[in-house]
Amino acid sequence: MGFFDSIKKFKNQLEQVESSVYSGSGSLLEVYERNAKLEAEIAVRTKELDRANKQMLTLQHIWDMMNSSKPLSSVLNAIVNSLQGELGYLYSFIVKQKADNDGNYLQVVASSRDDLGMKFFEYFKCEVTDYRMHFPEMEELKNAISTNTIYQSAELVKLVCGFLPELDEAKTKAFLDKAKMKSYIFVPLVSKQTHFGSLVVFSSRDTLSNSELNFLSLFAKQIELAITIADLFQAVKEQAVTDGMTGLYNRRYFEEFIKKEAIRSERQNQKFTVIGLDLDHLKQINDMYGHNYGDIAIKAIAEVLKNNARSIDVAARMGGEEFNLILPGVDSAGGCIAAERIRKAIEAVKLEKIGHITASLGVATYLEHSDDIDELLEITDHAMYESKRNGRNRVTIAKPARQTSWQEIAINTFVDILSKHRIPVDESTSNMLVQKLQEMNINNEKLYQVADALVSTYNPEHIEGGVKQKVQIASLLAKRFELSKESIDRLKIAVLLYDIGNTMLPKGLLRKKEPLSEEDKLSIKQHPLIAAREILKPISNIVDIIPIIEKHHENWNGTGYPANISGEEIPIESQIILIIDSYFALMENRPYRDALSREDALKTIESEINNKWSEKLAKEFIAIVQNDLG
């Protein structure tokens, strides 16, 4: 091969190498371009995944709020703030239509907390929430509401100045540009198939992607569910503390509130006053016109209280026709003025068929008449019933609590009985109960616990807390019969002591399964006398309690014991104890029968009318158990 042939061959080989290199280069470039495209797609998918995760976090946050039983305002504020923190929207708020004497308007009920809100305040010298907003005259927004669809637009100035026509358009545009807002998203909100309000979101993006639209649609559904649940929580909460008939607070809420108010009163050394109120002649209204008209009269009282109470006052229906009103920061003089104003307002009410109604009121002041809540409520009640006894339709101010209360008398009596071993209770139990009594304040719950413990020594089936319930019912019944405070105090002590004679009966007699012998029956018939004469008579400060206890097993028709007296011969206090004792006994297990339900026990009480008790007493008792005690 010649030189030129070698050169030619080398050239051909070089061309082949070059061709191979160029070919490989093209492949590498293709691979590079493919990888770059893949990386870009991965970045897009990663960004979408990140957004999806944030969207899920936002929805989870709303779900957590929905299950927190927080107020609706808290739920809504959490919702709008979640859009900022996790999804990067610039600002959002929720508006709802309101109405007052000046007409309809829109109000911001929730707005996101961010720098933009502060900048708006600095720029316009007011908060967004300060404005009475108007709905923008924009057909596209009205259509969005009517069709319940999401709407996006870049016409920010038109929207903002539509909501707030008092803003200067040029100044508004400058503010929006500075804030880098490029569009808004309008999301209608529905609750219970009606338009609740609108979520308005300001975005730094020009357009709304399909995934974003889907998310906001789902987001709106979650908001709507959150609103429904929050409303439900609020309704349940209100039902728990509100009287269904009148809309006032119920007894439970009142009792919780007055405890807190007493703490606040003592801390600030500031008095508060309680007004007790009782509708006059409700029974006559029910008898003459029917219970529907009685309910109308009760509702009328509630409306008077609502109209005459300050925002800080607490009005409650305590049961039946009884109401209480707490006046924080008001002394007895101010309380009497308020009570008289309420009395006159009630007297001025004229109802269909019934005509005018009246009420009897009592007034007592914490840290003035008493520094004990139970005692304060008690003397308020007594003042109220003093108004009834003196002719009704009047206000009576309470007398300061006596130096020696009925609780103190009861405690001293128990201490005497136990420490002097007047009843067969083992010494260790007796000493323990005496120690409890001596350590307690005169209104301490332990008074009832000691009484319960004593009853349990001879009656293992005794209902826990039964003594306190008996005292409460006895007090309510006594008021229905308009007994004096002194008589009610005696009755309460008698309720604590009336069955103490059972401790002296032969052991096991009350639990006997077989029929009682004549000797057994005689022992049982003697227990009221044993309690009165052997256990209690030596105790000088309860001499006036003894006749009540002696006669608490006498029946209305004269078939009771021990004296076989009947009708009005039986002290009303003794009659009250008999019906209460019988009711609680019916709901306890006995060797010869199981405990009855409340409904069956009340039917038995009703069946004994004019035999064991009068019709009036039985009906008042049944009404108290069904209505006042729930």
- Rounded to the nearest 5 degrees, what angle is found at the Cα of 98, between the Cα atoms of 97 and 101? 145
* pLDDT at residue 118, rounded to an integer: 63
Q: Give the up-direction half-sphere exposure of residue 491: CA atoms within 13 A in the CB hemisphere.
A: 27
Of the listed ranges 176-190, 356-370, 371-385, 425-439, the one predicted with least confidence: 425-439
251-397 folds as: Alpha-Beta Plaits (3.30.70)
Domain with CATH 1.10.3210.10 in the chain: 406-628
What does pLDDT average to over the chain? 79
What pLDDT was estimated at residue 94?
87
The answer to whether 275 and 341 are in contact (CB under 8 A) is: no
pLDDT digits 0-9 by tens, 205-238 = 888 778 778 877 877 777 777 777 776 666 666 5
Name the CATH code of domain 72-239 (choices 3.30.300.180, 3.90.580.10, 3.40.50.720, 3.30.450.40): 3.30.450.40
DSSP code of residue 556: T
Query: Residue 185 in contact with residue 208, Cβ under 8 Å?
Result: yes
Q: Which of 173-177, 422-426, 515-519: highest mean pLDDT?
A: 173-177
> Is 413 a residue whose pLDDT tops 90?
no
Which residues, including other chains, have CB under 8 Å from residue 37's CB and lie 6 or more apart? Answer: none
For residue 197, what pLDDT is reported?
87
Every domain range in the chain assigned CATH 3.30.450.40: 72-239
Span 542-581, pLDDT tens digits: 778 888 888 888 999 999 888 889 999 999 999 999 999 8
Shortest CA distance to 323 belongs to which of 349, 299, 347, 296? Answer: 299
Residue 234: predicted pLDDT: 64
pLDDT bin (cut points 50, 70, 90) of residue 106 is confident
For the stretch 323-341, what's the b/e string if a residue is b when 16 or more beta carbons lie within 10 angstroms of its beta carbon? bbbbbbbbbbeebbebbee
Whether the per-residue pLDDT at 499 is higher than 80: the answer is no
pLDDT at residue 441 greater than cutoff 60 = no
Beta strands, E only, 280-439: 314-319, 322-328, 350-351, 355-356, 359-366, 395-397
Q: Is the pLDDT of residue 57 over 60?
A: no
Q: Residue 224, Cα to own-chain centre: how many angstroms?
A: 25
Tokens of 219: 């987001």
CA of 188: how far to CAs of 73, 140, 194, in Å?
A: 18, 12, 10
Q: If DSSP codes are grouped into helix, strand and coil, which group holds residue 94? A: strand
| Range list for CATH 3.30.70.270 in the chain | 251-397
- For the segment 613-620, the average pLDDT, to the nearest whole number, is 93
What digits encode the pLDDT tens for the residues 349-379?
A: 999 999 999 999 999 999 999 888 888 988 8
- In 362-441, which ranges are continuous DSSP H helix? 373-389, 406-419, 427-439
CA distance 361 to 364: 10
Q: Which residue has the tokens 């709802």?
A: 96
The pTM of this model reads 0.48
101-110, 194-203, 279-288, 508-517: least confidently modelled range: 508-517
Question: How many other β-carbons are positioned within 10 Å of the β-carbon of residue 305?
Answer: 23
Select from 3.30.200.20, 3.40.640.10, 1.10.3210.10, 3.30.365.10 the CATH code of 406-628.
Answer: 1.10.3210.10
Listed in sequence order, the DSSP H helices in 420-571 are 427-439, 446-456, 466-480, 485-497, 518-529, 546-550
Looking at the DSSP bridge assignments, the partners of residue 593 are 590
Coil, strand or helix: which one is 356?
A: strand
CA distance 468 to 449: 9
